[in-house]
Chains A and B, each alone.
Chain A
Amino acid sequence: DGGITQSPKYLFRKEGQNVTLSCEQNLNHDAMYWYRQDPGQGLRLIYYSQIVNDFQKGDIAEGYSVSREKKESFPLTVTSAQKNPTAFYLCASSIGALGANVLTFGAGSRLTVL
């Protein structure tokens, strides 16, 4: 089945630790995105990538980093610089630019800082 796989589903982090969330897609989509979802708020864009080896900051990139070394993979690292990292993180992809294409989402990863 084609889709987006996020792992781990649940992750606990101690303060001061970096953690990496995995996002893998087998849809052959060019564009990939990372969103953060907090209760009572809309999704907010962290980073996006339109092609391999290129990515752009979204609205809330501070404290996060990404890489896009392969078309199918777009891992997100939550660094110790992110002061309030507890949230639900969603990875998404689209065939091309968002204009005429729907977003396909993964099942999400819930990060909790202890």
Chain B
Amino acid sequence: KQEVTQIPAALSVPEGENLVLNCSFTDSAIYNLQWFRQDPGKGLTSLLLIQSSQREQTSGRLNASLDKSSGRSTLYIAASQPGDSATYLCAVLNNNDMRFGAGTRLTVKP
């Protein structure tokens, strides 16, 4: 059964810093991996979707990479802003079964 882990559980950085969020998974036979953003008390918003054949995806200041062989994905946020403060979750899809990590709660301080 796929297990998805996100470390650290919480991260606080000063505004303007570049940062990396980590996601690891135990079964490398994935179909795709998604990164989501969740604001407090809200639903999830999809940020990036990486298919298993891809190595990375970019959207604005966000870049997500995927290394299936090592069971890892990273979400890189460039030039962080206070508006980036949220919880970031990754989700891995195997055989139409999607598993979510518990998320990393990011705080960007002005």
**Cβ contacts A85-114/B at 8 Å (1 or 0 each):** 000101010000111101111111010000
Q: Does A45 contact B (CB under 8 A)?
A: yes
* Chain B residues engaging chain A, CB cutoff 8 angstroms: 4, 9, 31-32, 34, 36, 41-46, 49, 51, 89, 91, 93, 96, 98-103
The distance in angstroms between the C-alpha atoms of A106 and B101, with both chains bound, is 19
- Quote the shortest CB–CB distance from B1 to chain A (angstroms): 10
Interface residue tally on A, bucketed by range: 20 to 34
The distance in angstroms between the C-alpha atoms of A107 and B45, with both chains bound, is 10
* Chain A residues engaging chain B, CB cutoff 8 angstroms: 4, 6, 35, 40-45, 88, 90, 92, 97-100, 102-108, 110
Interface of B is mostly: strand
Give 24 A-B contacts (CB < 8 Å), ordered by A residue: A6-B43, A42-B4, A42-B91, A42-B103, A43-B100, A45-B98, A90-B43, A90-B44, A98-B31, A98-B93, A98-B96, A99-B32, A100-B32, A100-B51, A102-B34, A102-B46, A102-B49, A103-B46, A105-B45, A107-B42, A107-B43, A108-B41, A108-B43, A110-B41
The distance in angstroms between the C-alpha atoms of A41 and B91, with both chains bound, is 12
B99: A residues at CB distance < 8 A: 42
- Quote the shortest CB–CB distance from B72 to chain A (angstroms): 17
3 cross-chain pairs, A with B, having the tightest CB-CB distances, nearest first: A42-B100, A105-B43, A43-B100
